[in-house]
A = this chain, B = another copy of it.
Amino acid sequence: MLMSAEAYRDSLRALSPRVFVNGQQVKSVADEPLLAPGINALGVTYDFALRPEYEKRMVATQQGSGRVTNRMLHVNGSTDDLLTKLEAVRLLCRESGCAQRYLAHDALNALHQGTKRADDEHGGERHARFLAYLDDVQARDLSLGIAMTDAKGDRSKRPGQQVNRDVHVHIKERRADGIIIRGTKAIVTGAPYMHEFLVMPCRTMTPEDADFAVCCAVPVDAEGVTIVSRPAGRPGEAAARFSNTYGQSTGVVMFEDVFVPWERVFFAGETVEAGFMTTSYATHHRHSCIAARAGFGDLLIGAGALMIEANGLDTDRHAHVRDAMVDLIKIVEGFYACGVAASVYGTRDPSGAVMPETVFSNIGKLLLATQIYDMHRLAHYVSGGLIVALPGPDEDHNPETAASLSAVLAGRPDIPAEKRLDVARFMEDLTASNQGGWYSVISLHGGGSPEAMKREIWRNYPVEERSALVERLLDRGILDEGKRTSKQPGRCCETGCEPPALPARNAAE
């Protein structure tokens, strides 16, 4: 069943989570103005799946079950699925700033892989349990919040070493019918307006910290769950030309002795395989982030072009402005290309799920993480200083100033001042407001810090294959050195040395 945005909003009314925003408890999430932009953004993921022109991108059929599902809940069965997901996320995020729901996709794919691996190692029914859960989630077209980033406490210490054990979510008690979990997840995207949380460990745990290697599904209104959230976007602000409509809230989620029945528990102490799942999630998520930020880039490119036009500039005559636009495009499509390459060279996991290639995924995320700041710089460059100097929208209707301002704030005479102001505020909203700050920081740190990506690149790159290549070339030369004629490449090439390990393509198609 694919829901519409309206049905999704209604479905939230059936839940009664304990949510605080700005110090006040929220009565009805679905009707809370401070959360509306976040619900709107999620809504796009529902509505777009119902639009025929987007069907190919937004709807998928689950291999195995044959269930028809929203792409955001689909476990990939081919490299083509990966590329389609990439396009779908870009499509959603260029409409809504950040669609949030792809995190569910990333987690479901990682759980598909991780539960299979744990069963293979330890036996058990984790994978079957997960498949049943997956089918339920797809059937009900749920939105899932990914509760992963723990509060962490003192970052120089392991979870088990913290003074306050609750800075990480952990198993407090194991019972016959399920487990009791406790602790705090500090940054949960879209927390208040989800149906369920997928609790996942935020790092690989050592054996001493086995109780922290817990992964399970918890309804948002389970007893003991408290959500303390920021508003989503900039609700109610007239100047917020984009983010008063679409935004994202981040929430702290506290689990205070929450019971989870075994059929919703996927990991409970399997540190090695849970670590694998976390790493696998990171790869899926970084791959998705690439598309999300490319969609954001589309908005900056479009707004930049409109600002240039409204200012009366011409990209043919003002080469430095065109240059900045090309730089912006170069950045956006440059990191998006890494997402494409990661899709094409995706690999099939033993569980049957197809996973994006790790090195390309991490490079793409690393590029966007640092270059989001350059994107802001270039967007400001082409816009001019006006975007932070305009009188606010309350001035638009001030009878004593509105007419005069309107007359002098126009740029090109055939474009009304109103339109210029409109685009300027749109640009300010996306890049020079607290929402703009959120996009920057979440791009930098979301899905792990740049250092985490660098380590993952290093861990996965075939450096030794490259060294072996050079050693082979050097040996050839040494053999030849006696002759010094430089005419002959070494014999190695004529005989059967191994082919260099270039990535194997489309292995998963």
Report whether A333 and B360 are in contact in the complex, using a CB–CB cutoff of 8 Å: yes
- For A480, the chain B residues whose CB sits under 8 A away are 245
Tell me which residues across on chain B come within 8 A of A388, comparing CB atoms.
Answer: 250, 434, 437-438, 441-442
- Residues in B with CB closer than 8 Å to A40 are 486-489
Q: Given the known inter-chain contacts A363-B333, A477-B245, please indicate yes or no for A412 contacting B303, CB distance below 8 A.
A: no
A interface, over-half SS: helix
Which residue of B has the minimal Cβ distance to A53? Answer: B499
Can you give 16 contacting A-B residue pairs, CB < 8 Å?
A153-B411, A154-B413, A157-B312, A163-B413, A186-B386, A241-B477, A242-B477, A303-B470, A320-B323, A329-B363, A333-B363, A340-B340, A376-B440, A422-B477, A428-B437, A437-B437
CA distance A469 to B294 in the complex (A): 14
- A-B pairs, top 7 by smallest CB distance, nearest first, are A432-B437, A23-B394, A302-B466, A385-B445, A302-B470, A154-B312, A337-B341
Chain A, range 191-236, C-beta contacts under 8 Å to B: 226, 228-230, 233, 235-236
CA distance A485 to B33 in the complex (A): 7
Those of A464-509 within 8 Å (CB) of chain B = 464, 466-471, 473-474, 476-478, 480-481, 484-490, 493-494, 496, 498-500, 502, 505
The stretch from A64-72, A258-266, A274-282, A364-372 touching chain B is A364-372
**Are B334 and A334 in touch, CB under 8 angstroms?**
yes
Give the segment of A116-124, A172-180, A455-463 that binds chain B.
Answer: A455-463
Decide yes or no whether A344 CB sits under 8 A from chain B: yes
A228 close to B391 (CB less than 8 A):
yes
Within 8 A of B (CB), among A312-357: 312-315, 317, 319-320, 322-323, 325-326, 329-330, 333-334, 336-338, 340-342, 344-345
In the bound complex, residues from chain B placing their C-beta under 8 Å from that of A51 are: 496, 499
Q: Does A254 belong to the interface (CB within 8 Å)?
A: yes
Given contacts A23-B397, A312-B153, A325-B458, contact A238 B484 (CB under 8 A): yes
CA distance A64 to B428 in the complex (A): 47
Contact with B along A368-398 (1 / 0, CB 8 A): 0010011011001100111111111011111
- Contacts A153-B408, A154-B312 given; 20 further ones with Cβ under 8 A? A5-B489, A24-B394, A40-B489, A44-B493, A47-B494, A95-B473, A156-B313, A164-B408, A184-B408, A186-B409, A228-B405, A245-B476, A256-B404, A299-B469, A326-B457, A330-B366, A337-B364, A380-B444, A388-B438, A426-B473
